[in-house]
Every structure is written in C-alpha cells, then in structure tokens.
Amino acid sequence: MNGAVWQGLAPQLADLGFRVGAVDLPGFGASPALGSGDRLEPWVDALLASCDGPVHLLGWSLGGLVAQKAALLAPQRVRSLVTLASSPCFQARDGWRGIPPEVLSQFAEQLATDLPRTLERFFALQAMGSPSAKADVRALRQAVSGRPAPDPRALAGGLTLLAEVDLRVELAEIACPWLRLYGRLDGLVPARGVTAVDRLAPQSRSLVLTKAAHAPFISHPAETGEVLKAFYLSL
C-alpha cells in the first residue's frame, strides 16, 4: 500500500486544524526503495526525513511498526503515536499471537515467481474478516492504483521486517501519548493479543473496533475518525 490509502481519513484530521501528510514508505508509491530494506532503522530514517519538525504519527500495519520504532529512536520528533491494526511483533512465536511463519514464507516465495498474483493476495488479506471485504478491497485498490506499483525489493524487505522485528521488550520506553486501535475481526493482528500488549505498554491506551478487521479506516471511516478526533483533542 502507499500513502493514498489515507485520502478518506485525512480530511477528517485536517478539520481539527492539523496539517496532514500521507507518507509513502520506501519503495511504495513515489518513494524510492532502500538498499537495506530488510532493516527497520533505515525505514525510520526515511520516514522522519519526510517530516517537517515534530509530528503526530499515525501508522497502519507495517507502518505502525515503523512508527513505533520512530517513537523509540527519536522521541523528540514524535509528539504522539497512533498505531492502527499494528503490532510490535507480527509473526507468531513462543505463544505470541500473530501471523503464522509459513504464511510469510509463502508470500516471500510467491513474490519471486508471480508478483501480480501476490499483490492481489495482499489486497485480499487487508480485508480478510471484514463484513464488507469486497468493497474494502475495491476501495484500497482504487486508492493506491494512481501511484507507482510497489518495488519488489520493498515488498521483500517488508516481509522480512514482519517476520523478524520484535519490539516487545522496548514498548515501555515509548513516552509520548499512544493510542492503539484494533479491529476485532482482524485476521493478521488478532484482537485476542491486545491484552498482552496492554501489559507490555501500560502507558498506552487500546481500543478494539468491534465490527472492523485489518483496515478500519476503510471499512468504518466515520467510527475510526471519531476515535482519532477524540484522542487528538485530548492531547
């Protein structure tokens, strides 16, 4: 996905008086891919380089992982943090709820053999579990299709990050106001794991949207927008 996915939500935040920017992560949309796309720190550097001064960061899925690391590495640059359908550790391991390792391995193999079909599977995964899955996929595809297709190197690097990055032991160090939003029907970031993150990051707040899956801002834009407005107005 690229920054165009936020086109429906951005006006709601702009109404609060924010100057809203939608970032293309490295290798997605108009942003060039990184030479070291399988390490998280360069993604954070690229994100912060695109931001003018201290910012309120909102990151979805993999973007939320990048945003969490940014809050850890550059706390003076991050005024608040919202992670949406994201996790400090995406891959299931040692009793931790997450994406089965074999699923990520299959995607990595398919990237090398059939990129178009793999991208379609990516789209389908974003809406998996949503009551409006078909409409959600159409909305996502329509939003991102106006920008360049993702660089295969960035897709491979992103899969590596999802499989290997584990920020769980660092979460308590995030000092800025932090809201974690989840979808109860999310098949990629299971809502059953929310309480585990609550324990790791007691300084944060969590909220589960009961009818949403992995892309609440697409399937339930009004509800997601109201939750975000309430958070930002409380700062």
197, 215, 213: which is closest to 205 by C-alpha?
197
CB atoms within 10 A of CB 155: 22
Known catalytic residue: 214? yes
The HSE-up count of residue 210 (CA atoms within 13 Å, CB side) is: 0
Q: How far apart are CA 76 and CA 73, in angstroms?
A: 9
24, 31, 56, 61: which one is catalytic? 61
Known catalytic residue: 186? yes
Two tokens at 125? 């995964």
DSSP state of 99: B
Known catalytic residue: 61? yes
101-111 and 152-164 helices cross at what angle (nearest 10)?
170
Q: How far apart are CA 55 and CA 209, in angstroms?
A: 25
56, 86, 186, 220: which one is catalytic? 186
Distances (CA, A) of 226 to 12, 48, 55, 144: 9, 26, 20, 24
Length of the chain: 235
Q: How far apart are CA 10 and CA 80, in angstroms?
A: 17
15, 18, 20, 19: which is closest to 3 by C-alpha?
20
Q: Which residues are catalytic?
A: 61, 186, 214
